[in-house]
């Protein structure tokens, strides 16, 4: 199908754009014409770090709310899924346990995921269903009994849950397109072939970090850097981490290493000094970067999530010392030091909406109106470019003949959109010239 988009604002000028066979062309004969009415036509957004299966599952889960009272009310009204379980997401409660959950809902198995994605909490019915608690991440009380908290035990828990099959990603793909997202990187580690093939059903361009070394990605997808997740409760030695990095480099893949604490970032930098660096190596999150660790990051890429400041910055403000607020999800200082910075969501653990991420990166404003680390703000246009770059630190795409027609058309010109960024500004999204919204 040949498409003509007329009167679109492209690079600050109002002009027309032709699409044929999924690519931008210099001119053609259109079978479909869209009048942009002066709205901006942009390269689509790229989310460089999210978790598609977890995000789809979160859309079907109960939400914990902001307090134990919220959680109790949600559980009272929750209906078990077809497997008989209740799945809850978005808890901020670090000390929630089985006994507390039993008071809220004891008749069916319940599992509650912490907002970080690093911990599940199970009620007694759930603990009984999964059998012996023989994972090292099982938290225990002074008597040696499980508290219900499971740390970094996703794969172990998944093997003990009723089989439900991978979620359908069709509706999720349309939701992402509604924000203007045309490409995503799934950051789930250690994907097997079945899980990778399921992810490939999303309509967005897809890069996979969790493909095992030596394995290929499903048709139509791209193998990205090799994901290494550092569990903060059980960090490896620098030599062990360096060996994993060397192994990936030898296989021809850069690495994408999860780091959300100062300790893990120091460990990672020491490991890089031992193993060496490879173009494309990246740090996922870099949630806390002290000033003295900025220079050693030069030459690496950081894929960070300032959307967390908008989503839970009020908690950071209370729990993180004021003199460390600038260390949270740095952007400007990293770019100034020669670090390639890409913005992403980490959805479902952070807000998936790129317009929320853009606002957060350019204001660093929390839900209660406080600004955390104002020196780290990006200009709205720089934030936009960091959300459009095809790879971290790359120049944002320009719309030129021969390129894939992965586009987002706005209702308004770009300057107006950047003054008040909002998902409702998205009029139409195209992937390979195909209209998804």
Among residues 381, 390, 386, the alpha carbon closest in space to that of 414 is found at: 381
The pLDDT of residue 368 is 87
d(C-alpha 260, C-alpha 171), whole Å: 31
Q: What's 348's DSSP letter?
A: T
The pLDDT of residue 384 is 97
- Backbone dihedral angles phi then psi of residue 113, each to the nearest 5 degrees: -95, 130
Inform me whether the pLDDT recorded for 165 exceeds 80.
Answer: no
Q: How sure is the predictor about 270, in pLDDT bands with cuts at 50, 70 and 90?
A: very high
How do residues 81-131 score in pLDDT, each as one tens digit? 989 999 999 998 999 999 999 999 999 999 999 988 889 999 999 999 999
The pLDDT of residue 232 is 82
The pLDDT of residue 21 is 93
Average pLDDT over residues 308-330: 92
The pLDDT of residue 89 is 93
- Name the H helices within 78-187: 98-104, 124-130, 154-158, 170-179
Query: Under a CB-based contact definition with an 8 Å cutoff, are residues 256 and 226 in contact?
Result: yes
Inform me whether the pLDDT recorded for 1 exceeds 80.
Answer: no
Strand duo 138-140 + 146-151: pairing: antiparallel
Strand duo 205-208 + 181-186: pairing: parallel
- Backbone dihedral angles phi then psi of residue 357, each to the nearest 5 degrees: -60, -45
Average pLDDT over all residues of the chain: 95
Average pLDDT over residues 219-237: 93
Query: Under a CB-based contact definition with an 8 Å cutoff, are residues 155 and 129 in contact?
Result: no
d(C-alpha 316, C-alpha 394), whole Å: 30
Inform me whether the pLDDT recorded for 161 exceeds 80.
Answer: yes
The pLDDT of residue 211 is 97
The pLDDT of residue 272 is 98
Helix axes 307-319, 354-363, angle to 10 degrees: 50
pTM attached to this predicted model: 0.90
Domains of the chain with bracketed CATH? 1-44+398-437 (2.30.40.10), 47-52+168-397 (3.20.20.140), 61-158 (3.10.310.70)
* Gap between the terminal Cα atoms of the chain: 17
Site of tokens 């300032």: 306
Sign of the CA dihedral running 398, 402, 408, 409: positive
How do residues 385-424 score in pLDDT, each as one tens digit? 999 999 998 987 889 999 999 999 999 999 999 999 999 9
Q: What is each CA distance from 413 to 4, 393, 437, in whole angstroms?
A: 18, 25, 19
Neighbour count for residue 337 (Cβ, 10 Å): 15
């Amino acid at each position: 199908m040949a498409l003509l988009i007329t009167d679109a604002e492209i690079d600050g000028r109002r002009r027309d754009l032709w699409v044929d066979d999924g690519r931008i062309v210099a001119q053609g004969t259109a079978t479909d014409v869209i009048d942009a009415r002066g709205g901006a036509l942009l390269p689509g957004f790229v989310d460089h770090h999210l978790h598609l299966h977890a995000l789809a599952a979160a859309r079907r889960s109960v939400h914990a709310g902001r307090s134990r009272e919220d959680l109790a009310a949600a559980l009272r009204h929750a209906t078990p899924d077809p497997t008989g379980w209740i799945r809850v997401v978005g808890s901020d409660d670090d000390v929630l346990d089985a006994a507390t959950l039993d008071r809220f809902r004891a008749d069916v198995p319940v599992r509650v995921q912490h907002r970080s994605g690093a911990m599940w909490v199970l009620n007694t019915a759930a603990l009984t269903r999964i059998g012996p608690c023989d994972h090292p991440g099982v938290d225990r009380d002074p008597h040696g009994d499980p508290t219900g908290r499971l740390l970094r035990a996703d794969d172990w828990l998944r093997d003990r849950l009723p089989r439900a099959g991978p979620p359908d990603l069709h509706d999720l793909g349309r939701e992402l397109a509604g924000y203007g997202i045309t490409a995503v990187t799934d950051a789930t580690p250690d994907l097997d072939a079945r899980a990778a093939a399921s992810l490939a059903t999303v309509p967005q361009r897809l890069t996979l970090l969790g493909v095992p070394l030596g394995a290929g990605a499903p048709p139509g997808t791209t193998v990205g850097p090799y994901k290494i997740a550092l569990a903060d409760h059980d960090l490896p030695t620098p030599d062990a981490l360096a060996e994993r990095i060397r192994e990936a480099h030898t296989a021809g893949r850069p690495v994408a290493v999860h780091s959300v604490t100062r300790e893990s970032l120091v460990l990672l930098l020491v490991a890089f000094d031992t193993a060496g660096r490879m173009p494309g190596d990246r740090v996922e999150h870099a949630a806390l970067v002290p000033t003295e660790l900025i220079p050693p990051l030069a030459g690496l890429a950081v894929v960070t999530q300032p959307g967390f400041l908008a989503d839970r910055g009020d908690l950071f403000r209370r729990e993180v010392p004021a003199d460390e607020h600038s260390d949270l999800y740095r952007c400007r200082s990293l770019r100034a030091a020669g670090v390639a910075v890409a913005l992403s969501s980490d959805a479902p653990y952070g807000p998936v909406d790129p317009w929320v991420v853009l606002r957060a990166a350019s204001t660093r404003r929390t839900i209660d109106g406080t600004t955390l680390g104002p020196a780290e703000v990006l200009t709205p246009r720089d934030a936009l470019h960091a959300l459009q770059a095809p790879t971290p630190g790359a120049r944002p795409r320009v719309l030129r003949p021969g390129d894939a027609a992965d586009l987002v058309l706005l209702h308004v010109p770009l300057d107006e959109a950047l003054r008040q960024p909002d998902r409702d500004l998205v009029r139409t999204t195209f992937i390979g010239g195909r209209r998804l919204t």
